[in-house]
Amino acid sequence: MGAFRVEIRVMPRASLLDPQGQAVEHALHALGFAEAANVRVGKHLVLEVTAPTKEEAAVRARTMCDRLLANPVTEDFSVAVDTAGRPEGSPLG
Amino acid sequence: MKRVAVVVFPGSNCDADTLDAAQAAGSDAYYVWHRDTDLQQADVVVLPGGFSYGDYLRSGAIARFSPVMAAVAEHTRAGGPVLGICNGFQILCEAGLLPGALMRNAGLKFLSRPVRVRVEAADTPFTCRYERGEELVVPIAHGDGRYVADQKTLAELRANAQVVWRYVGDNPNSSVDGIAGVCNAARNVVGIMPHPERRNAPALGGQDGARVFLSMEARNATQPASDVRAVGGRHLRV
Amino acid sequence: MTGSRGKGATPFPGDPPITPRLVQEHNLTEAEYRRIEGMLGRRPTFAELGIFSALWSEHCSYKHSKPILKTFPTTGPHVVQGPGENAGVLRLPDGWAVAFKIESHNHPSAVEPYQGAATGAGGILRDVFTMGARPVALLNSLRFGPLEEPRNRYLFAGVVRGIGDYGNCVGVPTLGGEVDFASGYSGNPLVNAMCVGLLKERELITAAAHGVGNVLLAVGARTGRDGIHGASFASEELTHESEQRRPQVQVGDPFTEKLLLEASLELIHSGHIVAIQDMGAAGLTSSSAEMAARGGVGVEIDLSLVPTREPGMTPYEILLSESQERMLVVAKADRVAEVQAIAAKWELTATPIGRVTADGYYRATWKQQVVVEIPGQRLIEDCPVYHPEAAEDPAIAKLRSACPSPASPLPSPDEALLRLLDHPSLASKRWLFEQYDSTVQASTVIAPGGDAGVVRVRNAEFGIAVTTDCNSRYVLLNPYEGGKAAVAEAARNIACTGARPLGITDCLNFGSPERPAVFYQFREACRGIADACRALSTPVTGGNVSFYNESPTGAVDPTPVVGMVGLVSRVDRAVPSHARQPGDVVFIFGDTRPELGGSALWECLHGFVGGEPPAVDLATERRLVDLLVAGAEAGLFRSAHDCSQGGLGVAVAEVAMGGPYQPAGFGLDIDLTSYAIRLTPYDVLFSESHGRAVITCPPERASAVLALAQEHGVPAHRAGAVGPENGVLRVRLRDGAIEQPVARFREVYFEAIPRRMGD
């Protein structure tokens, strides 16, 4: 078993209106960043998952997304597991 | 007199208002704590408004896992009427008991104001005392009230007349198709964003919301509310 | 623990040595430090220095303001609890009582508007529910610089969102308040929050510890490093360095607050506890020390038992942390398990951290080591009291006798009125109050946008009316009259709804009291408030002093905000402010005099703040208040609206325009041609003479209204009639007129703020 640092990105579905993204884009343009486009605002979650393997940690994290962390009606997610998994008990970097 | 269970989650803040409105309509209303798994022989279950679990993560996302929700789902499967108001609507969507989802208002601001809605379906346990097409003024108070659903779901909602209330004129949160409330295909589960419990007396500026609660007491409520009894923790039709 | 009693405290490992520089950094003067050494008979420990710094700050000790505050009238037949507790309490009918308090969160909001305002709302809610009252209304009195500056828009938007997100989540309706925009607040916003709660009088609980052996428990959130030294932060001037102090600003968690609210009320009703207090400014230190001093007992706390959010926190940090959503509870010695069970039901922890002692010492230990040991009463009561010098700034005296220079040709009355209605201070505040839940609790009878908010009391015939008021232009120009005016306007607003004014809480926002010109403003404004409260029978039940509202650009405009509560004896007869029925008769109560000094007109048209502000005749105000209440109770009025900023012109326009959710306003036909010949059209329309109100009534009640006014000795002018929906607002003057479709005024009035905020 090891503890893996998992990063989860939850984004509003591309097909849906993202008013926050629009507002940020508008603000960027107002500040002179005309080059910014297609801004979308999502969530970033960082957690520690204890699992036998990195792959298993990713599977568990995806299940968490399905059940709680993302709403399948409105959000997509992606899961990244830190390659530098650490042995159980050692502090996270 | 119907037994109306008002479920209280940590962060519910319309529980007392909802209980009062149900009692004013003549119901035997009582609270059920979210950790309880017994609905105490409820005829009707109401999930009130508020900010369950602070609306952290997503509105309703954490409350749907409260222990009481298994009993609510069972009550639903047995055909028992369930109403979700505002945060209750959000919880029912998160729990998959109603289609679609409620997202951040398009204007990105919390909005508290009276709105005009049209009754689109009068054949649910919570709207049977209204006429179809009737217009009501009821308050909204939410930050996440923009109803969304995919095209297929929307087509189904239309085909089955599952839109219960629709905003008229001002669509305050830019809900798709002006949807302010929906029901499930079986029509026993209803979710609405506006707060009928805040408009049930002349002193509160009107009583357009009162009939939501009077509907629960109506004998001709379409669903067999009084036929559903929890026996030994299981719902049976008698 | 008992082994070291009376032997004094010893430094905790790692504590810095006490040096003059350290003392200075704690905002303590040399004399104050000597007083501390004298009291202890030794050098204080670092933790003790921190405690004195916090409790002897202006924010906690009122050391500059106490002698002045003592001049307020604080007693009366309705007063259940006067100043000195977490909130004041007034008696209502049927065994009910109302607890209320206003407090500032100016400095934190200037640095981080969202969290500053949110935690301000959180703190005032806790002050009210720790009295055993369920909060039923929030109000906010806000001041910002002009919205033309982006920084002010940022502060304004952040503050409104912070208040909204917090109050909405806890489920307390925001029923009113006020917002003003003036250059005196640029960089120095004022954020005052008021909370009003209801309780049964027999359920009142105070924050006085008693019962030797009773157990102190920390309930709610864990203690972190946030907000350390917030109380002394609030007692110093804002500088560029304070911008760097962001880590001190606390973060609010309204969800935990809601749980704390329910748990606290359940604890109070359970009888398991003897006292409860918010760990607010100066955190654990002030809550425990104040509770002990009020009860005349000592306390002993083992700081190693306090649940912390991060490891390695020192006694100093734990004592002074201002982490939010924490309560200190004194439980009966044999009821600790019951208290913990109630907390657990609400998903909170309740941790025993100390006990009530008989020796009167305020003592904190870290396990066996005593780190703080101070005579408890003297810690609270022996704070030095200052009597600062007061002298009026001669520039203000000069300003008072000045007039606006005759500018370019004056605009027509129509144009002047439109410009006033477009000023964000006078325009509709819909943009803000729509972001606050105003109908939760299903009790709102009069929502924001009227003269005062009104809520019903469930299963009772009566209701309560609430408002906050202050016109800082008047206070700046004439602090005594300005103080009187704040109380008089609040009373008028309350009375317009049909409520009898009962009492006030005040939030006194000023610059540094160490400057004679500022202290003069403070002293005179308080004298005005005291006189007005005596004349209107509205005792002061508590409040808050916020000094040091200064930035590099100078002191804030003096802003003594008055929060008032009134009783509507029959809530079904509460009176709204807007015209409601064509054909109704319009009356103007009170006299109009040429009093444009300090007016909104002069500021809007000439950019001039000066002149002698209108004088308040308190006997006249009292008669008007009595008339408004009597008329409402008799069911004579259809609407009643107070006349204040912008004078009769703005008042009649507001009566005509109606609320934001009406599809349209009403026309109004007003004839003021009989007004005294010495009054110019601008005097008639925009003079801000006090003691006036505009009411509408059905024609068949007009003679009864006139008779009632006569009986009360209030001049009543039958001025015209309500016209058709979406009609024309017409005001005839001896010389000129206003004549515009009411829709034109509505457009300007409701769009003024959204337009500036880019919405």
Residues of chain B predicted below pLDDT 50: 221-238
Any idea where the domains of chain B sit in the sequence? 3-216
**DSSP-assigned beta bridge partners for residue C275:** C330
Does residue A90 belong to any structural domain of this protein? no
The reported pLDDT for the residue numbered C235 is 57
Give, in order, the Cα–Cα distances in Å from C132 to each of C40, C128, C197, C263, C264. Answer: 36, 7, 9, 11, 8
Does residue A91 belong to any structural domain of this protein? no
> What tens digit of pLDDT does each residue of C598-645 get?
999 999 998 999 999 999 999 999 999 999 999 999 999 999 999 999
Q: Do B112 and C254 touch (CB under 8 A)?
A: no
Give, in order, the Cα–Cα distances in Å from B32 to each of B4, B44, B71, C83. Answer: 10, 12, 11, 40
Residue C352 pLDDT > 60: yes
pLDDT range class, residue A19, cuts 50, 70, 90: confident
Among B198, B199, B212, the residue to mutate for chain C (most C Cβ within 10 A): B198
Residue C181 pLDDT > 50: yes
Does residue A18 belong to any structural domain of this protein? yes
Does residue A28 belong to any structural domain of this protein? yes
Chain B residue set in contact with C, beta carbons under 8 Å = 10-11, 13-14, 16-17, 20-21, 49-51, 53-56, 107, 109-114, 139, 141, 143, 195, 197-198, 200, 202-205
Does residue A71 belong to any structural domain of this protein? yes
The reported pLDDT for the residue numbered C116 is 92
Range of the domain at A73: 2-82
> What tens digit of pLDDT does each residue of C630-684 get?
999 999 999 999 999 999 999 999 999 999 999 999 999 999 999 988 899 999 9
The pTM score is 0.93
> What tens digit of pLDDT does each residue of C570-597 get?
999 999 999 999 999 999 999 999 999 9
Closest CB to A73 among B101, B104, B174: B101
| B window 135-164, beta carbon within 8 A of A | 146, 148-150
The reported pLDDT for the residue numbered A27 is 78
Does residue A29 belong to any structural domain of this protein? yes
Is B134 noted as a catalytic residue in this protein? no
Helix, strand, or coil (residue C145) = coil
Closest CB to B148 among A16, A20, A23: A16
The reported pLDDT for the residue numbered B222 is 43
Of the listed ranges B63-77, C10-24, C440-454, the least confidently predicted one is C10-24
Residue A87 pLDDT > 60: no
Closest CA to A77 of A86, A67, A90, A85: A67
The reported pLDDT for the residue numbered C408 is 63
Most confident of A30-34, B232-236, C172-176: C172-176
| A window 7-36, beta carbon within 8 A of B | 12, 16-17, 19-20, 23
In this prediction the ipTM stands at 0.92
The reported pLDDT for the residue numbered C187 is 83
Contacts of C441 in chain B (CB under 8 A): 16-17
Chain A: nearest CA to B55, how far in angstroms?
A: 13
Mean pLDDT of chain C: 93
Counted domains in chain A:
1
Question: Which residue of B lies nearest to A22 if distances are taken between CA atoms?
Answer: B106
The reported pLDDT for the residue numbered C617 is 98
Report the distance separating Cα C226 and Cα C321, nearest Å. 6
Report the distance separating Cα C84 and Cα B235, nearest Å. 56
Question: Which residue of A lies nearest to B57 if distances are taken between CA atoms?
Answer: A69
Contacts of A23 in chain B (CB under 8 A): 108
Percent of chain C clearing pLDDT 70 (strictly above): 96
The enclosing domain of A70 has a CATH number of: 3.30.1280.10
Decide: C63 and C384 in contact? Cβ < 8 Å. yes
Q: Touching C: which chains, 3+ CB pairs < 8 A?
A: B
Report the distance separating Cα C256 and Cα C336, nearest Å. 21
pLDDT range class, residue C213, cuts 50, 70, 90: very high
Question: Which residue of A lies nearest to B146 if distances are taken between CA atoms?
Answer: A17
State the catalytic residues of C. 59, 105
DSSP C609-649: --SPPPPP-HHHHHHHHHHHHHHHHTT--SEEEE--TTHHH
**Domain B3-216's class?**
alpha beta
The reported pLDDT for the residue numbered A86 is 52
Closest CB to B113 among C253, C434, C458: C434
Chain C: nearest CA to B90, how far in angstroms?
A: 15
The reported pLDDT for the residue numbered A18 is 84
Give the H/E segment covering residue C138. Answer: strand C134-144
The reported pLDDT for the residue numbered B233 is 35
Percent of chain C clearing pLDDT 90 (strictly above): 86
pLDDT range class, residue C4, cuts 50, 70, 90: very low
Does residue A56 belong to any structural domain of this protein? yes
Question: Considering just the CA atoms, what is the radius of gyration of chain B in Å?
Answer: 16
Q: Do B61 and A68 touch (CB under 8 A)?
A: yes
The stretch C201-219 carries a mean pLDDT of 93
The reported pLDDT for the residue numbered C676 is 83
Contacts of B101 in chain A (CB under 8 A): 71, 73-74
Closest CB to B56 among C255, C258, C445: C255
The reported pLDDT for the residue numbered A52 is 94
DSSP B81-98: -EEEETHHHHHHHHTTSS
pLDDT range class, residue C225, cuts 50, 70, 90: confident
**Which one is catalytic: B14, B34, B86, B128?**
B86
Q: Do A16 and B100 touch (CB under 8 A)?
A: no
The reported pLDDT for the residue numbered C28 is 93
Decide: A59 and A12 in contact? Cβ < 8 Å. no
Q: How does DSSP classify residue C4?
A: G
Order of strands, edge to edge, in the sheet holding C298-302? Answer: C273-278, C326-331, C215-220, C350-357, C298-302, C361-366, C369-375
The stretch C13-23 carries a mean pLDDT of 91
The reported pLDDT for the residue numbered A21 is 86
The reported pLDDT for the residue numbered A15 is 77
The stretch C553-573 carries a mean pLDDT of 95
Residue C463 pLDDT > 80: yes
Does residue A9 belong to any structural domain of this protein? yes
